[in-house]
Structure 1
Amino acid sequence: MLRCKLVLPLALAAALALSGCQNTTPTQRHTATGAAVGAVAGAGVAHATGGKAATGAVVGAAVGGTVGYLWSKNMERQKQELERSTKGTGIKVTRTDDNRLKLNFPADITFNSHSAVLRPQARTVLNSFANSLRRNPTTQVLIVGHADSSGNAASNETLSLQRANTTRSYIFSRKVQGPRIQTEGRGAREPIASNYTEAGRAQNRRVEIFVMESK
């Protein structure tokens, strides 16, 4: 009983700490939250069945960490639609490890440096994306804005969120409804290339859109 009391808070606290950490990605935070829930469930099962609390919590955390989103026929169809509509634009459409559909909008079609104004080519692609969302009203969307490191930390945080919000506002203007679309600004904290070159900074100055269908 004492081990159960000790292990459960430790497993839960560790997972929740990661889920709330500002330096983690949305994928990491979602996985950590699942792990926290799984740890609670696993330890509960172990206690109820007379097993070891430590084993139950670890197994539960592993299961919880893999509980993500549903990759359905609907999601696969959306992926294929978006691959066709973005072909030749430089936008990457991929499936993430936790079954989300990810669109990476590079700087050369989205925003100029230090700007949150959408470029015309991005609007064209977002028109197709909005059409896809209207055909799939049950999916949820997270838009994450990023900046390069050319500004200070505070201005980069603001700019990255402005880019995400600008993208969402444009999608809303295409008659996509409501709170199903959330935004987040990550500043310059998640570079995908070197910030020491213009080409690298251009890659880091981006918007990522995640589409997911809950289980």
Structure 2
Amino acid sequence: MRNQLSVISIAMVLTLGGCASSPETQSTRTRDTAIGAGIGASTGAIIGAIAGKGKGAAIGAAAGAGVGAIAGNVWSRRMEEQKREMEQATAGTGVEVVKTFDNRLKLDIPSDISFDTGRAEIKSNFRQILDSFATSLSNNPGTRVTIIGHTDSSGSDAVNNPLSLNRAASTRDYLVNQGVSSNRISVDGRGSREPIVANDTPANRAKNRRVEIFVAEPQAASQ
């Protein structure tokens, strides 16, 4: 137990040290890079220390720290530029473009411009947004994309779950047809399980019918 606590303490010190020493003038990353890497490393250390047994605790912690560091995301100048590009491309469309707490770029695509009710075919307004998005992805080949489809609570899970996945898959397929490698994209369908508002009015149900696109630049890819 003492060895585990020592390793965890060291990891936390390294986290704080990494945050404090991150240079503000670094050309390819922001301060968030060091923060994300430090958090990833310390989290990995904690996992490794808990997983390690007896004399192997320190080794387990070191391995866990390495995994945690690799898993961290970077908010680089490239990511900031991509955010600005997508904000300009989606201005006035209702698409929300934000930076998430874990250094990912998120595009929240409402249903009124993406898919008709009960359908998984991409609408024409959505194609224009995806064209700009594909261009930004081509300019940032080190990033990874996750596309998640959501529905409202109308209908059964037997309908909503495959529909949400099919919408995410349609979005992926369109990007692939625009030249984005399929190896960079993962998809998931959450059905009605993750509403952002209560499904109690038509307007709220429309908000819950959405596609979320996340872009991440892994820590390892930026080195």
Common fold by TM > 0.5: yes
SS in 1 for 2:183: coil
1:81-128 residue CA offsets vs partner (Å, 9 max, x unmatched) = 111111111100000000000000001101121111111100111000
Unaligned runs of 5+ in 1: 5-32, 52-56
Instruction: Find the counterpart in structure 2 of residue 162 from structure 1.
Output: 166
Select 2:204's aligned residue among 171, 189, 200. 200
1:152-203 residue CA offsets vs partner (Å, 9 max, x unmatched) = 0121110000000000011111111221011000010000122121111111
Select 2:79's aligned residue among 75, 79, 102. 75
Using a 3 Å threshold, how does the CA distance of structure 1 residues 2 and 34 change in structure 2: closer, same or farther? closer
Q: Is residue 41 of structure 1 aligned with residue 54 of structure 2? A: no
Using a 3 Å threshold, how does the CA distance of structure 1 residues 171 and 41 change in structure 2: closer, same or farther? same
Q: Is the 8 A contact 2:148 2:188 kept in 1?
A: yes
Whole-angstrom CA distance in 2 between matches of 1:38 and 1:152: 42
SS in 1 for 2:48: helix
State the Cα distance separating 1:40 from its structure 2 match. 3.1
Whole-angstrom CA distance in 2 between matches of 1:172 and 1:34: 33
State the Cα distance separating 1:34 from its structure 2 match. 8.0
Unaligned runs of 5+ in 2: 5-39
Instruction: Find the counterpart in structure 2 of residue 137 from structure 1.
Output: 141
Q: Is residue 191 of structure 1 aligned with residue 198 of structure 2? A: no
Select 1:121's aligned residue among 118, 121, 125. 125
SS in 2 for 1:175: coil
Q: Is the 8 A contact 2:151 2:210 kept in 1?
A: yes
Q: Is the 8 A contact 2:172 2:182 kept in 1?
A: no
With normalisation by structure 1, the TM-score equals 0.73
SS in 2 for 1:179: helix
Whole-angstrom CA distance in 2 between matches of 1:170 and 1:73: 27
State the Cα distance separating 1:37 from its structure 2 match. 3.3
| Number of residues of Structure 1 aligned to a counterpart in Structure 2 | 179
Map 1:82-101 → 2, pairs under 5 A: 82-101=86-105
Sequence identity percentage: 47
State the Cα distance separating 1:36 from its structure 2 match. 6.7
Using a 3 Å threshold, how does the CA distance of structure 1 residues 98 and 162 change in structure 2: closer, same or farther? same
SS in 2 for 1:203: helix
Whole-angstrom CA distance in 2 between matches of 1:35 and 1:3: 15
With normalisation by structure 2, the TM-score equals 0.71
Whole-angstrom CA distance in 2 between matches of 1:135 and 1:2: 48
